[in-house]
Amino acid sequence: MSLTDAYNRQIRDLRISLTDRCNFRCFYCLPHGEPAWAKKETLLSFEEIEFVADIFVSLGIEKIRLTGGEPLIRRDVPVLVEKLSRLKPRLRDIALTTNGYDLSRHADALKAAGLDRVTISLDSLRAGRFAEITGSDSLDRVLNAIEAARESSFDPVKLNAVIVRGRNDDEIADFARFAREHALSVRFIEYMPLDSGHGWDRSLVVSGREIREAIEMEFPLELASATRGSETAWKYRFADGAPGEIGIIAPVTEIFCGQCSRIRLTADGQIRTCLFSATEHDLRGIVRSGAGRREIVEFIEAAVLKKEPRHYINDPSFTQPERTMSFIGG
């Protein structure tokens, strides 16, 4: 079986948020401190996540990414990974996105449980600036997490850097150099309107083209593939053959909605068909009502059919989602 939306896009990627809580306060997500967290009883249990993940996989989901908030705030994440690993080989890939703060002590257990890939957020290589961006003086912990991920045999280790004009855009070449020196995949992401303060300013968006040009002033690049397919990033390798990879994700200036294969499940069990959806679909309510598997399948299929044709960031009528990235899951 396969999940297909009304625009004939096959849905193969499921992003599951494990918690809406985070121990960082990044200005582009939670600039005003702690929001009203979801109550514990509203969060999907690991057993519920395993149950609905099995249904999603039976419908053609091939990749699951665990996100947050900060997913490793949730206790016993390796236990959940082990449960999800039972869905292999139908499920081809299990990944985790983390801020890295607590990854070092969990990396071995996550790998042993069956986690395939890890992505670490890193928005600055300068300690003072890192603290300004994230609200946490934790650069050393994140750098140690990168090394721990490598020692645990995660390959490749990916880094996500959100680039914002006047904040860290002068570090673009530094990130590329870091990728080369440490054989890492660094993915540059355009600044998006997902902050709790609704203070997004389009003038602060550094376009994917600008990012690429800034890198190529020092390190010429060549496309790793002629097509992006359903991936979010254009992937580049260094033209001189140096190790490392560059990815550029440009959802604001280079919309890739036409090939979108993703769907999201929030920590409190709401299906979101787009990062910028104005509506959610209450899967938790259906599951906890005692609905049978067929009814849940029909609910998921109906939600997917309502997936938006594209996001509307560039439309005058665009309204920013009420939930921040920490609630939605990246």
- pLDDT of 18-38, one tens digit each? 998 999 998 888 766 555 567
Structure confidence at residue 1 (pLDDT): 72
Q: Is the pLDDT at 148 greater than 80, yes or no?
A: yes
Query: What's the structural domain count of the chain?
Result: 1
Q: Nearest to residue 119, comparing CAs of 159, 154, 92? A: 159
Q: How many CB atoms lie within 10 A of CB 228?
A: 17
Is residue 64 a contact partner of residue 98, using CB atoms and an 8 Å limit?
no
Radius of gyration of the chain (CA): 19
What is the tens place of the pLDDT at every residue in 51-82? 999 999 999 999 999 999 899 999 999 999 99
Looking only at the bridges linking them, the beta strands covering 262-265 and 270-272 are antiparallel
Whole-number Å distance between alpha carbons of 320 and 259:
22
State the residue range of the domain holding 42.
3-328
Structure confidence at residue 309 (pLDDT): 75
What is the 3-state composition of the chain as percent helix, strand, coil, each rounded to the nearest 5? 35, 20, 50
Structure confidence at residue 201 (pLDDT): 83
CATH number for the domain harbouring residue 152 = 3.20.20.70
Q: Position of tokens 């490749």?
A: 156
Prior bond to 33 cis, omega within 30?
Answer: no
Per-residue burial over 277-311, b = 16 or more CB atoms within 10 Å of its CB, e = otherwise: beebbebbebbeeeeeeeebbebbeebbeebbeeb
Whole-number Å distance between alpha carbons of 178 and 184:
8
Prior bond to 69 cis, omega within 30?
Answer: yes
Min mean pLDDT across 29-38, 76-85, 171-180, 191-200 is at 29-38
Whole-number Å distance between alpha carbons of 233 and 186:
11
How high does pLDDT run on average in the chain? 90
Whole-number Å distance between alpha carbons of 276 and 286:
23
Q: Is the pLDDT at 122 greater than 70, yes or no?
A: yes
What is the tens place of the pLDDT at every residue in 307-320? 887 665 665 665 65
Q: In what order do the strands lie in the sheet with 13-17?
A: 221-223, 234-238, 245-249, 185-190, 157-163, 117-121, 93-98, 63-67, 13-17, 262-265, 270-272, 281-282
Is residue 70 a contact partner of residue 24, using CB atoms and an 8 Å limit?
yes
Whole-number Å distance between alpha carbons of 231 and 310:
15
pTM (2 decimals)? 0.93
Tell me the pLDDT band of 225, cut-offs 50, 70 and 90. confident
Q: Position of tokens 């929030």?
A: 266
173 token code pair: 């070449």
